[in-house]
Structure 1
């Protein structure tokens, strides 16, 4: 067998190219705290710094260990960022400072750390990813128990559930992983000497997490995970350099999943071999172009996934070469294949797969799994690829039609032309029904051609050697055309099916990207799954560890109680459950987990029983798996965006609370002091004071009381707005009447001249009249506050397109350009020079919140005329 020259694996080269623009990541991995990860990281950082590298410590946690702190030495250390949280200040890594500094190597300790609310990212590993995207090389440290996929195992070993985890893909994407390892006995001695924790902490730790058995098990996990990483590095190097394997550096087991009855036995045997060798397992299915169909490989491939195998499917014309190329590129050392029923592989390739692999698979260990001794007639029929009965009806019909046409054309075409007409019929049979039907058609066409047209006619006898040779050549060419055309037709069908699947996936990606909410995303997934599978589908999400249906197509589709038990099984174990699976197979629905690196994020449910659409074929099954993968990623992205939104909301709430406390401290104290002073003066000296003085004190107390009530009202309003408690009562509102009323009331509170310019025949938008009145009152008070006495305030109302615009314009000093975008923020007050800012900073924020609640928006312009004045414009939907 001729082997084509080895070429670098394109997927590996693409992954390398994608990493070129990113900063490198080096992870110092340990089995437990105290093994010396941070110490070794700092020691190596000092060594490369002495060689001239620009190294900065972005964040290092020494945990009070003096030897670790000493390793910092003269390394540059970035100041930490302080974040206020629940009345205390938390020190966090300053991501912006690190991005601005842009060192050659940045040290960021504690990769699994959870950032304080208000940080840009919820997790520190996300900070590291942003640093890498900016081209900065990052060194970090973590313990193996913080790896997401190992959290359950660690909890079972130690009895302690780790809350802070790092997704597996972060470690897998690291450019370098260095294991820092010491024996458990040495680590325990360090604990007793107080080199890891303080004595009182060490005593508690030695009775809990730091038991020798726990440490030995965690060490084994760390060693195994590092060995897997080294094995992946070796395989990646071989594939990138086009080195033909296998390299016997470690064992890897590859199961070859075919379309015969041995497929599931092959997978189970491969799993047993992999477990005995403590080796990773892979499963491969090769879709043969032009080969007849057999049993679906989907059940065996699903079994392989459930048993922890890395599953791949490919298409090829040369099965042995495809298997060997895949095995070599993935550095497999053990091949497990099924020894199928006689004639299956031989009919497909003209030889047995086993014999071909034995001749070519030097360096591999072959394991043969025998076929079952008995195969049911149905399986034999499917394995032989016999066509539908319509093909057998078409054979005599098409040959008869061809014979009629040939009799009409006899004498009009050359003698050899009649044979070409029969060959065309054979090609048509091959294209429509496959090579088996075409072979039968070729035999019948040859016999009819011989009987009707070859001399002597109307007999099957042949008059000479020329007729015998011509007939033999005709039959041979017909068989060749039958096999070639039939295989080509199936190849075209396979290509068309794959193209259809790819188009659906592209369309799904577009729809998922266009989804504006999680509800839209879930509805899209349910709709696409139902269309693709041809049966009812639903999407379930976990709520308190219970699956809950969040979207279904059709809408009324609802799994029954027995099926929901299968859904709970699938959610808790991360495997398929329900109909035609190993878990609760009597259920009417089948549930497939949506998995990401962070675990199961949801389930896709399909109603399998009682649906008249037949079973899912292999192509649709693979397309559904691809849909689930895309949906899982989109769902995780939606979860992350929601978490970021919640973090931002918490940060805004915390900022609002802090600002509110600071404002209350000032804005409540001032009027209260004035009121208290006036009342104390009246109480102590009221009899000695003249009547005008007493009235002046009472007026002061009254004005300050009104000011205090207005301020408290504003505080209540802003809190209601921030918490979403404002519900507008929508009704048609006459804008002209609302503007004139607000201007008249404001005119009684100020000595500014208020002019109204209202366009005639304005529409009456459906808004809340009371909220609009409050908005206009705040805008007019604000305009009066920031303009000189006696100046004019102009209120305009007009229509512009689909909006009604209400503008309040003053002739005051205006707003500095650098503060214009902030004036609608709560508690922001415009500053000019050293003068104290006026007002509480709540009026315009309340205006913005109320306008938004009515479906509008508010804008500000300054200066308006000759470098002075400010215009506030309310835009309401007409």
Structure 2
């Protein structure tokens, strides 16, 4: 039997066909501004122009850089469009001019740029899409931080949230991506030389975004995203050219997860191999419907997800073939399997999984993981589905075996009773291979019994009425057993298939629970739908209807494979499904000519979106078990998306509430804490100006003193605001050195005593105590705490400061005997702009002192807490600082 030749993947061919009529897109990708993307693009464009290619510079952003302006050279420039906006004239890219000019190659700098109001499209990448549809090749530049999927990661790393983003599919659909890369040290040197930003901007950038660690992280992101893009190109080429693979262009590790005690060890070993190779990890579990119930692979698959692997579960009868098929489809290069403990006869016959893979997986590197020493031995042998012809051979062998037994007991057992022996092969064949094989076993058994044992022997004739009755009864019982046992066997196999389906749903639910954001969630839904339907799948979310429209607009958010996108005719079916909440497209009563079928994901709040399926050309939409599994998937996916939407709405609501509260507090503080000193300063100055000569020297001195004090108060308030901003932006970097706590407390107490004219009781504690802290930050904390204590205690009250040692920590306590803090205000006393309210008054101050203290203490690795009353049954407040002693 000749092997069927490999055929190109239709999806890959269709993706190539869709690109034929569109203009090419080349992206010059960089890790950060200043790496030379625009310079490289212009240099290549000048080389092509010199060779006679029609190149047009649509827009080049020089940002005032002389080098970039000079690099344009003799490239023809497209005049910019002039757009009036609010009394000004803005210059922007002229899309209509470019379409009318139709150059061979058009240069468009800064793909993530937002167009000026009045432009046809709000974003420049949308201009690029229209140019490509018109058949114009576009070259553009972009930094990796502008990719939509990386915006959160970039914000966490750099502390700067990028406002302008580009959808990931734009880069994925590019025909070429060229990485422009330089080391971070060289980029920083360019910044210092003023070749990227102006000197004043460069200084701020070097202290913020352009730190070496930030640039290294962005560089890794750019390298990884470019590697993923190249890998997608290699995979697409292999599928379009029917190359089975694997191609060792890049390493990929696949862990084969079984339902045995070694599964978790296999996952951990595969993770180590993947880390050593810097390669992605895939965890594959092959479920065999005919296998005996065993252990649950769920914990091992959950461990694989926690370790960052992509988990896959497939159902197949032939284990080695399924493994190799999936490995080739995913271009894996390394297979990690457990050695296991197969039964002795499989080892002797060379029919273990590892032996089969060693024979067949000649294109892969195979890693064998030994069985754990404490793992129990398998009690039941492995089972494997036999080929169909072997079922017929086994049926004949079972009847022959029963015949041999009958010949052995012939003469001891009556002829009529010998027929009972043949019931055993009938039941065995029906249960093991189905009702048809059971019926054939019944016919063969009847013929053998009649020919060999019923008189007259060695003929098919029946001698007497008694034998006729026996034969009829035997035939009825045999056929009944064959049908019943066969149905029972089919039911068992169907039940196993349903168990596999339920297990996959449970695994999918777990994947939904571990998805990082809505993008990951929708990608997981598309992958599971594609696996169930056996073809491309996508997820569409619904945008609110535009003014004048009554139906929401479905928008593609995820697809498997990555280029799966419904055509315009299919999108009409998607819009109908979104408007009516019912399935539409292929295989339905609505727009059945469409290539895609769309099914709604319904929740109590309405439609959460649509799942689109494109069935294979030779088959129809999912039915039977696949249809039920898909409906279950839609229900779970709708709930997960609704939960994600609610969590996002709650996060936005909380952020708005916090912002509003902070804004109110800031405005209130501004209204009081700025107006009061400014009023005093203005009054003193006005009095001195109008009545200065008539005032006594003492009065003039008093007015000047008031102005000076209020100016100092205003300066302290502004300094507190700036300190709080530095703390919130995590710009505080302590300079750690050994600090003598006794000297630090004495110095701060002496300064506070002079300022308030009151003594402070100081207990320096045992010496020496010298934790590694920042002396300047600690002095600021102590000054704020002592100032608060003196301010909120009675004029004759006492303020105490002491230090001590408690286990591995040093403890500093500042205590006063004032009215204390109300119990309901105690949990919020360290919040910015919060001021405790009592029945008789509102505490004076800006509400920033304790918030700054908390930020500075945390920056030094310590803790701060407030207790009130300081002494049970009395009043006062105690603030406790704790720092590591070492």
Which bracket does the TM-score occupy, shorter chain normalised? 0.3 to 0.5
TM norm structure 1 = 0.47
Q: Which has the higher relative contact order, 1 or 2, with Cα contacts under 8 A spaced 6 or more apart?
A: 1
TM norm structure 2 = 0.46
